[in-house]
Structure formats: C-alpha cells, structure tokens
Structure 1
Amino acid sequence: MSENLRILVVETDPARVRDIVDALNDAGWTDVKALGQISALDRTVKEFAPDIVLIDLAHPDRDTLEHITLASETDKRAVALFVDRTDDTLTKAALNAGVSAYVVDGLTMGRIKPVLETAIARFKVIRQMQSELDAAKQALEDRKTIDRAKGFLMRQRGLSEDAAYSLMRKTAMDQGRKVIEVANALVTAADLLS
C-alpha cells in the first residue's frame, strides 16, 4: 500500500512515540502526528483529519473505547488499536465500536505496517458494504414511495399501474426532475388531501 496517509498516533510514552513514528517513516508514511493524551483525541482528529488513528494502550476499558469511537469517528477513518491484554468483552466492544484492527500483545514495530494495511483494507471493505447497504435501503424506500404515488394516481385518475408510472416519468422528464421527486410530491399531496 503506497498511498500517503495522514496518521495520528496516540501514545503517552515519548520514547515509544519516536519508535512508532520511525517505523511509520520506514514504511513510507511521513504525514504523522503524535498525541500524548487520549483526552485531546476529539479536537486533534478535527484539526488534523487523519486517514487512520493508531492507538497504543495497555488495557482499555469500555469508557475509553466509547471515547475512542466517538472522537475518532470510526465511520470516517480506520482505527488500529494495540493493547497489551484484553478479555472477550473488551474485544467484542472494540469490534462493535468500529475499530478496524484490534491487536493484542502490544505494539511491535515490525507489525505496524502489515497491521495498518490490514486495518485500512478492512475499513474500506466495511465502508463499501455500508455504502451498498445504505443504497439498497434507499432504493427500497424509493420503490415504496413510487408505489404509493402510483396507487394514488391509479385511484384518482383511474389509471393502470403502467399508465400511472408513465405519467410520473413523463412529468419528471418535462420538469427536469427525478421520478422519485415527483413521487415524493404526489405522496405529500395525497397525505395532505386524506
């Protein structure tokens, strides 16, 4: 993965920060910012706008994971979390929180590059799946709205289903709008009239 990424490193130990930054630079990633306190994560994420957040914690708790999730905006960027030890509850909480990589047994410099690449790849796959799911949900909602609008036209004008759809499509074309926009207007009108 050769893309240049903006990476935010959250680590309290200055010596570990230097090691992590050096390892990232050796991997070809030079746009790196270090943060020594997790309490400043929210502000730093907004200012720096990283592509990935790398967090090294000894043993996170549920409150810390919630803070990481909210501050890191895990729906917008990958998060790699390195911990020294964990339990099943924290592992599940981290994954449910949207952490892209949850690595137990701490952070070793030799694992940084493959873990970040995996976190980024996993994040992209999940974001693509979420995008497709959102599109499918929207298409279903649009279909329901169009069906309601067709039903309204069929009742009000005595049209067949095909004729009702053709009328909506012609109206949309004549007005330079989408069929769903015309359908929304019809449904709103039908709701007002009923």
Structure 2
Amino acid sequence: MRNLRIVVVNTIIDHADETDTDLQEQAERGKALRIGLLEAGYNIIASLPADQYLPERIAQLQPDMIIIDAESDARDVLEHIVIATRDERRPIVMFTEDDNTSTMEAAMEAGVTAYIVAGLQAERIKPVLDVALARFRQEQKLLTELSDTKHKLAERKVIERAKGLLMSRHKLSEDEAYQKLRSMAMNKNLKLSEIAQRLLDVEDLLG
C-alpha cells in the first residue's frame, strides 16, 4: 500500500544551532527520513511538532500511519501520541537512536507498532513500514475477534439468566424456556439476546 497518508511527528529541531553537533545530526536524520519516505512513494500529508496540539491535529488530518522521528528522550511525544490515538488506533512507527530497553518497552506499551533503532537508510523504509502495517492489521484482527468473543459470552449469559427467570416464573423446563424465549424474539423481530435483556429489565423494574 504505497499511497499511505502519513503524518511525521518529530521531536527534532529543524533549524538547529549550527554549533550544536547533536542537534545538527538529529536535523539531518529527520531530513533523511522525510526524503526516504517521499522516494519510496509515500504521501506525507503533514510534519508536526510533538506538542500539546498534536492530538487535535491528528484528529483533523486522519492519517493512515504515524511516524515518530524521535530524539533520545521521547516520553513527551509518546504521551501526546497515546492521547491522539486513544479513540482510533493507527499503526505507529518510531525511528530513534535510543536503544534503551525501558524506553523501547514504554513505546510499545504506548501503542508504537514498530520501534526502529539507528541505521536509517532510504531502502529500509518501505520494508519497515510494510511489516509495521501487517503487524498492526493482525493485532487489530485479534482485538476484534477477542471483542466479538466477549460480546457473545455476554449475550449467552443474558440468555441463560432470562431462561432461568422463565423457568422459575412459569415452571418450565430449560428447553421450554428456550423455545418460549425464541418465540418471543421472533414475534418481536428481535435477537434472542435482545428479548432476553428486555425480560431482565422488566424484572428489575418490577422488583
């Protein structure tokens, strides 16, 4: 997917002090990253600073992927990224020079999909983003399946409670209670779990 709409979030100072070698190196690395993305055919829709306005800007731009161009200490940018992607997750790739294990773990906990340390070459960018995107999609698929499973278990619990209520109130067998519940759902054109929840709600109201 080469037409990814990418937002680059950088903690790098573009107009670095010419006397500061570290800042110059960071600025050059940020420039190399953006050039590599463009050469690989990606669409950089914005390059944003890691400030308190970041969540709002990402919400407005709706990018397909977020790339963090981070200096050594990226705690602040990670905090902003967490807020920005809390309601709608996106693949996040972080390029950094920080190989500290605790920083890497904090980044992954914050939602970073791929944490890339050093060795930034233009030819590496596309494979890295492809892998990050594939991993993100797999994670989302697993989360969706887990959510579906939890939902189905919750529905089953509601149905079992409603069956128990019918069995107790009308002296029915479990199968009779189920058939009655099913008949009520069909008559009302509702799902079994929906009619079961309605029965339980009525029971709660009546005490």
Do they superpose with TM above 0.5? yes
RMSD: 2.0
Match of 2:84 in 1: 71
Q: CA separation of 1:18/1:92 partners in 2, compared to 1, >3 Å: closer, same or farther?
A: closer
State how far apart, in whole Å, the 2-side matches of 1:86 and 1:17 are: 18
State how far apart, in whole Å, the 2-side matches of 1:111 and 1:58 are: 19
Q: Deviations over 1:11-51 (max 9, x none)?
A: 3437655543432233232x312324111321221111001
TM-score, with structure 1 as normaliser: 0.89
Match of 1:9 in 2: 8
Match of 2:178 in 1: 165
Match of 1:41 in 2: 54
State how far apart, in whole Å, the 2-side matches of 1:113 and 1:187 are: 54
Q: Deviations over 1:151-178 (max 9, x none)?
A: 0000011111111111111111111111
State how far apart, in whole Å, the 2-side matches of 1:75 and 1:101 are: 18
Q: CA separation of 1:75/1:97 partners in 2, compared to 1, >3 Å: closer, same or farther?
A: farther
Equivalent residues of 1:75, 1:98 under 8 A apart: no
> Which stretch shows the higher mean deviation, 95-104 or 16-25?
16-25
State how far apart, in whole Å, the 2-side matches of 1:36 and 1:70 are: 15
Match of 1:81 in 2: 94
| Equivalent of 1:56 in 69, 92, 102 | 69
TM-score, with structure 2 as normaliser: 0.84
Count, aligned residues: 192
Of the two, which has the highest radius of gyration?
2
Match of 1:95 in 2: 108
Match of 1:32 in 2: 44
State how far apart, in whole Å, the 2-side matches of 1:154 and 1:63 are: 58
Q: CA separation of 1:48/1:142 partners in 2, compared to 1, >3 Å: closer, same or farther?
A: same
Identity of aligned residues (%): 39
